[in-house]
């Protein structure tokens, strides 16, 4: 095995980090989009009349069924076909975000159903509208229940951000390949560095979500056990 | 005019006709108790009164307002009708205080300070001021049910509907909830109570309504219904229920 060219490796790291920043930007964009759309889809599936609920189910089926890579191409090149010019970055956020919204909607739907109809009925019984009940009673509970499954989705979409390279976004994976292209001896160490970056981010993300879960844990529930509720 | 008037209420779930023409009235300050075997439509009836369930046919009037009219603002009606559920249905993520306060703030648009004051008063009334900051999961069933009564009371209801408020409670916790209800009745609250607590029915109710299979079989003052019911079915049911639940409570 050739000796590692430490100097070139170290020189490449700032470039990798600037690439990683792009991954983080995609990550925040896609999570925000996926969260907002995911909650709406879940609410439509649970609470709206059948035709709308069926549409939402169709939406979920589509975005969970089509491979990510194909979605990226469809959004990026597809929109160009209609003279909508968007940057690869935006296309990646949209494609990965919509895909994530389908997965997130499943998480939220399960959580909303776990909260149960009785909470809705109690809220309605004091005179709240359905929207008020959703806002003040259902979602605060459902979002708490969503945190553990949601952290899986977080880890998954974090890794997916590297797929944006396929439509030309210069993110960390692409940068690593540039560096490797200049010096093949760096292939192994450079991708190990990239792997470490992601392991670190996964760790930090899950730690933060764990802290969030503890912060919003409902007192009294730990003792009685979640099983009792359902 | 009666505070609550129910006229020929019908409700069907699929093939099953759960309510088959129920009519009765409730005067201001009255307490009526509904008894009857399970699956008879008692809960459905209560839910139809504030349209948590939509009746198929029939009318409900509350204080001169036709609740069942599509033009009625149903949210306003519900804010005026307290509902106490069998399994409490407190908002799990909120403290006792916030449970009582939520409707005041969101529905009555009361300021936070006034709402807090009012909510604390109601918690005091049910003897739980010291549990204001406890979450439902930290309270006993009896305490949870008392908070849920406070939640209903805070809205200044014209009428409170109780759907088997003690059926989910351990026997030793039933008394504290009944005590609160007795005080309410004595204080002049209008109440419609579905319960198996015959002691409560006998001592508090102005009238007992015996329902079976979606209709009212017989109704009358407790002294009459308990001692000389007109229908054999009523007598049979009362015998069974006293065997099951006893006289106490
Ligand atoms: N949401 C519902 N959907 C379908 N059937 C229902 C629903 N609610 C009640 N029922 C049926 O209506 C009948 C009466 O129920 P309920 O009003 O709860 O009776 P009770 O309170 O007297 O025990 C039961 O057979 C029950 O299965
Ligand atoms: Mg019932």
ipTM of the complex: 0.95
Q: Are A171 and A162 in contact (CB under 8 A)?
A: yes
- Which is more confidently placed, B126 or B247? B126
Q: Residue B237 pLDDT > 60, yes or no? A: yes
pLDDT confidence bin for A185, thresholds 50/70/90: confident
DSSP letters spanning chain B:
--SEEEEEEEEEETTEEEEEEEEEEE-TT-EEEEE--TTSSHHHHHHHHTTSS--SEEEEEETTEETTSTTS-HHHHHHHEEEE-TT----TTS-HHHHHHHHHHHTS---HHHHHHHHHHHHHHTT-GGGTT--GGGS-HHHHHHHHHHHHHHT--SEEEEESTTTTS-HHHHHHHHHHHHHHHHTT--EEEE---HHHHHHH-SEEEEEETTEEEEEE-HHHHHHS-SSHHHHHHHHHHHHHH-S--
Whether residue A177 lies inside any domain: the answer is: no
Q: How confident is the model at residue A7 (pLDDT cuts 50, 70, 90)?
A: confident
Query: How much of chain A, in percent, has pLDDT values that exceed 90?
Result: 83
In tens, the pLDDT along B10-62 reads 999 999 999 999 999 999 999 999 999 999 999 999 999 999 999 999 999 99
Protein residue whose Cα sits closest to atom 8 of ligand 1? B44
Select the residue of B83, B93, B139 nearest A140 (Cβ to Cβ). B93
Q: How far apart are the first and last CA of chain A?
A: 57
For residue A169, give the 3-state DSSP assignment. Answer: coil
A119 closest CB neighbour out of B76, B79, B91:
B91
Q: What is the mean pLDDT of chain B?
A: 96
CA nearest to A142 within chain B:
B93
3-state secondary structure of A11: helix
Is there a contact between A127 and B137 if contact means CB atoms under 8 Å apart? no
Cα of A22 to nearest chain B Cα, Å: 37
* Cβ atoms A173, A194 nearer than 8 A: yes
| Residue A230: band (very low, low, confident or very high) from pLDDT cuts 50, 70, 90 | very low
Give the pLDDT confidence of B206-220 residue by residue, as tens digits: 999 999 999 999 999
Q: Is residue A104 part of a domain?
A: yes
**CA B78 – CA B76 distance, rounded (Å):** 5
CA distance B245 to B167: 11
Q: Rounded to 10 degrees, what is the CA torsion of B74, B77, B82, B85?
A: -20
- Cβ-in-10-Å burial (0-12, 13-18, 19+) of A25 comes to middle
Q: What is the 3-state secondary structure (H, E, C) of A13-74?
A: HHHHHHHHHHHHHHHHHHHHHHHHHHHHHHHHHHHCCHHHHHHHHHHHHHHHHCCHHHHHHH
Total count of domains within chain A: 1
Strands of the sheet containing B215-220, edge to edge, are: B81-84, B159-163, B191-194, B31-35, B207-212, B215-220
Distance from CA of A38 to the nearest CA of B (A): 22
Domain CATH number, residue A72: 1.10.3720.10
Structural domain includes residue A69: yes
Residue A222: predicted pLDDT: 61
> Under DSSP, is residue A200 helix (H, G, I), strand (E, B) or coil?
helix
Q: Kindly tell me if the per-residue pLDDT of B246 is higher than 70.
A: no
Is residue A178 a part of any domain in this protein?
no
Please indicate whether residue B214, judged by its CB atom, sits closer than 6 Å to ligand 1.
Answer: no
| Candidate from A124, A137, A220 with C-beta closest to B91 | A137
Q: What is the pLDDT of residues B190-199, one digit of tens each?
A: 999 999 999 9
pLDDT class for A82, splitting at 50, 70, 90? confident
What residues does B220 pair with on adjacent strands?
A: B208
- Give the dihedral sign, CA B95/B100/B101/B107: positive
Q: Is A6 a member of any domain?
A: no
Chain pair A-B, CB pairs under 8 angstroms? 78
Predicted confidence at residue A227, as pLDDT, reads 40
Can you give the pLDDT at residue B249?
Answer: 41
Q: Please give the residue that has the higher pLDDT: either B133 or A12.
A: B133
The whole-model pTM stands at 0.91
Under 8 Å between Cβ of B214 and B41? yes
Question: B130 phi and psi, to 5 degrees?
Answer: -75, -5
Question: Do residue B75 and residue A127 have CB atoms under 8 angstroms apart?
Answer: yes
Chain B positions with Cβ closer than 8 Å to A: 50, 52, 75-76, 78-83, 85, 87, 89-93, 102-103, 106-107, 134-139, 151-152, 155
Asked, for residue A202, whether it belongs to a domain, the answer is yes
Domain span at residue A33 reads: 20-172+195-215
Give the closest ligand to the alpha carbon of residue B13: 1
User: Residue A97 falls within a domain, yes or no?
Assistant: yes
User: How confident is the model over A131-166, as pLDDT tens digits?
Assistant: 999 999 999 999 999 999 999 999 999 999 999 999
Q: What is the mean pLDDT of residues B76-97?
A: 98
User: Does the residue A8 lie in any domain?
Assistant: no
Which percentage of chain A shows pLDDT scores above 70?
95
pLDDT at B94: 98
What is the reported pLDDT for A226?
43
Q: What pLDDT, on the 0 to 100 scale, is given for residue A229?
A: 41
């Amino acid at each position: 095995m050739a000796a590692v060219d430490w100097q070139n490796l170290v020189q490449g790291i700032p470039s990798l980090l600037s690439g990683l920043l792009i991954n983080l930007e995609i990550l925040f964009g896609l999570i925000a989009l996926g969260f907002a759309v995911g909650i709406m889809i879940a609410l439509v599936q649970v609470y709206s009349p059948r035709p709308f609920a069926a549409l939402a189910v169709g939406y979920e089926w589509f975005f969970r069924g089509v491979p990510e890579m194909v979605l990226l191409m469809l959004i990026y090149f597809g929109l160009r076909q209609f003279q909508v010019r968007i940057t690869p970055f935006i296309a990646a956020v949209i494609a990965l975000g919509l895909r994530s919204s389908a997965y997130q909607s499943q998480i939220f739907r399960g959580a909303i159903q776990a909260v149960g109809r009785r909470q809705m009925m109690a809220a309605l019984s004091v005179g709240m509208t359905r929207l008020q009940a959703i806002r003040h009673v259902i979602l605060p509970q459902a979002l708490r229940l969503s945190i553990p499954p949601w952290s899986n989705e977080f880890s998954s979409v974090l890794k997916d951000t590297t797929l944006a390279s396929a439509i030309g976004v210069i993110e960390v994976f692409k940068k690593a390949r540039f560096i490797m292209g200049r010096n093949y001896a760096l292939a192994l160490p450079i991708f190990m560095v990239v792997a470490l970056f992601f392991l670190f981010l996964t760790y930090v993300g899950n730690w933060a979500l764990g802290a969030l879960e503890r912060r919003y844990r409902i007192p009294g529930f730990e003792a009685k056990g979640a099983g009792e509720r359902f | 005019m009666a505070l609550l008037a129910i006229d020929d209420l019908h409700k069907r779930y699929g093939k099953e006709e759960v309510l088959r023409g129920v009519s009765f009235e409730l005067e201001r300050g009255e307490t009526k108790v509904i008894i009857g075997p399970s699956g008879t439509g008692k809960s459905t009836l209560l839910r139809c009164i504030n349209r948590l369930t939509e009746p198929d046919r029939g009318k409900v009037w509350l204080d001169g307002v036709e609740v069942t009219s599509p033009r009625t603002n149903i949210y306003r009606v519900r804010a005026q009708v307290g509902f106490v559920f069998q399994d409490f249905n407190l908002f799990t993520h909120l403290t006792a205080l916030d449970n009582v306060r939520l409707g005041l703030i969101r529905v009555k648009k009361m300021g936070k300070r006034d709402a807090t004051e009012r909510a604390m008063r109601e918690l005091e009334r049910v003897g739980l001021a010291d549990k204001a900051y406890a979450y439902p999961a930290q309270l006993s069933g009896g305490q949870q049910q008392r908070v849920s009564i406070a939640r209903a009371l805070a809205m200044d209801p014209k009428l409170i509907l109780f759907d088997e408020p003690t059926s989910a409670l351990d026997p030793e916790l039933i008394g504290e909830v009944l005590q609160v209800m007795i005080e309410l009745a004595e204080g002049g609250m209008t109440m419609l109570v579905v319960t198996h607590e015959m002691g409560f029915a006998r001592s508090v109710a102005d009238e007992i309504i015996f329902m079976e299979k979606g209709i009212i079989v017989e109704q009358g003052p407790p002294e009459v219904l308990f001692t000389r019911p007109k229908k054999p079915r009523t007598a049979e049911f009362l015998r069974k229920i006293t065997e099951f639940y006893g006289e106490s409570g």
